[in-house]
């Protein structure tokens, strides 16, 4: 199940912000690039909702600013 989740295009997902409760597509998040990663901010309130850091052998995803991340399945 998890392999299916992360094999999809996350930019097509909908993210629900912890701070303001707004829901919107990941593609609308404002991105700030930092070194080996990026921070995505809520389009409504500017709060960081997720961050991604890539190292030589791993990718770390931090979703602490996100209530839910809903990923549509291609077959749906």
The residues of the shown chain that bind Zn ion, judged by CB under 5 A, are: 17, 19-20, 42, 44-45, 47
Rounding to the nearest 10 degrees, give the CA dihedral for residues 42, 45, 49, 53: 70
CB atoms within 10 A of CB 54: 12
**Cβ at position 41, least distance to Zn ion in Å:** 8
In the complex, least distance from residue 72 CB atom to Zn ion, rounded to whole angstroms: 21
Nearer to Zn ion, 27 or 59 (CB): 27
d(CA 60, CA 53): 5
Instruction: Choose between 44 and 62: whose C-beta lies nearer to Zn ion.
Output: 44
């Amino acid at each position: 199940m998890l392999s299916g989740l992360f094999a999809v295009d996350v930019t097509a997902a909908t993210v629900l912000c912890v701070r303001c409760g707004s829901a919107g597509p990941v593609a609308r998040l404002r991105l700030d690039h930092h070194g080996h990663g990026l921070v995505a901010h809520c389009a409504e309130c500017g709060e960081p909702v997720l961050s991604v850091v890539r190292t030589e052998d791993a990718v770390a995803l931090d979703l602490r600013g996100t209530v839910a991340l809903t990923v549509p399945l291609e077959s749906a």
